[in-house]
Amino acid sequence: MPSFTAKHYTAIADVIHTERMKIKTINLHRDGEPDAITENALTQTNAFTLAMAKLFSEDNPKFKQMTFIAACNRDLID
């Protein structure tokens, strides 16, 4: 079974990031902070991101987990 390439990892990180951004725009309190449903969805997305990073790392020893996690969560860096 062929391994994923950097192009694949980037595409998956982009999908995860896009979904994070969608989640962050729904169910906000009036003060702009996420409500419990949104927080739960973000927690689940974070758990999924970590699981994918672990899977990719096991598949490819050169895979950089922190780079992938940062790409998935780049909205936190901006």
Domain spans in the chain, listed from the N-terminal domain onward: 10-76
List the structure tokens of 1. 């079974």
Q: Which residues pair with 28 in a beta bridge?
A: 34
75, 24 contact by CB (below 8 A) = yes
Q: What pLDDT, in 10s, does the model give residues 31-76?
A: 666 678 888 999 999 999 999 999 999 989 899 999 999 999 998 8
Tokens 């009036």 belong to 30
Q: What residue type is assigned to position 63 of the chain?
A: F
Confidence tier at 26 by pLDDT (50, 70, 90) = confident
% of the chain residues with pLDDT over 90: 60
Which pTM value belongs to this model?
0.84
What's the first-to-final CA gap in the chain, in angstroms? 37
Alpha carbon of 53 to those of 1, 26, 33, 73: distances in Å?
A: 18, 26, 28, 13
